[in-house]
């Protein structure tokens, strides 16, 4: 399983992040409803791939199901954006979304999703 080094460069985060290959996500801000993929996940948020990310501060509802057994619907806030560059390079465009109002049960559900993603990714390495 590959995780992102939380101490590397500007990627200093409290919670370890895990790649989430092919995990689809639906998200919307009440006016816009979009579909994309989650690049990675931590206990407190996700990075959503997008060539047209929503503005920082946008409140959204995210829905994703990494397996048929786990489905989550959470509120979040766009806390940072990595825009498509004017020079045409698409270096990981998207947005970082921090989960909001996580109850203990929702937080445990996110941890379960992370464990599932980590387990499934580990199976592919054999």
pLDDT at 125 over 60: no
Per-residue pLDDT at 4? 41
In the predicted model, what is the mean pLDDT of the chain?
A: 81
- Beta carbons of 70 and 118 less than 8 angstroms apart: no
Range with the poorest average pLDDT among 4-8, 25-29, 34-38: 4-8
Domain of 11: which CATH number? 2.40.10.220
DSSP, res 55? P
Per-residue pLDDT at 71? 81
Count up the domains in the chain and report the number: 1
Which domain, by its residues, includes 105? 3-124
Q: What is the pLDDT of residues 53-99, one digit of tens each?
A: 999 999 999 999 876 667 889 999 999 998 877 776 667 889 999 99
Whole-model pTM: value is 0.79
**Burial, 19: exposed, middle or buried (Cβ in 10 Å; 0-12, 13-18, 19+)?**
middle
Compute CA distances 109 → 6, 27, 62, 89, whole Å: 22, 18, 14, 36
């Amino acid at each position: 399983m590959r995780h992102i080094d939380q101490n590397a460069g500007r990627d200093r985060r409290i919670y370890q992040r895990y790649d989430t290959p092919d995990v689809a996500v639906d998200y919307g801000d009440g006016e816009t409803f979009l579909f994309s993929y989650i690049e990675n996940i931590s206990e407190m948020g996700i990075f959503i791939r997008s060539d047209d990310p929503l503005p920082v501060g946008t409140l959204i509802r995210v829905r994703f199901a990494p397996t048929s057994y786990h489905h989550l619907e959470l509120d979040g806030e766009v806390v940072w954006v990595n825009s498509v560059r004017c020079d045409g390079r698409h270096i990981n465009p998207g947005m970082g979304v921090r989960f909001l109002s996580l109850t203990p049960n929702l937080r445990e559900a996110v941890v379960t999703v992370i464990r599932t993603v980590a387990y499934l990714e580990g199976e592919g390495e054999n």
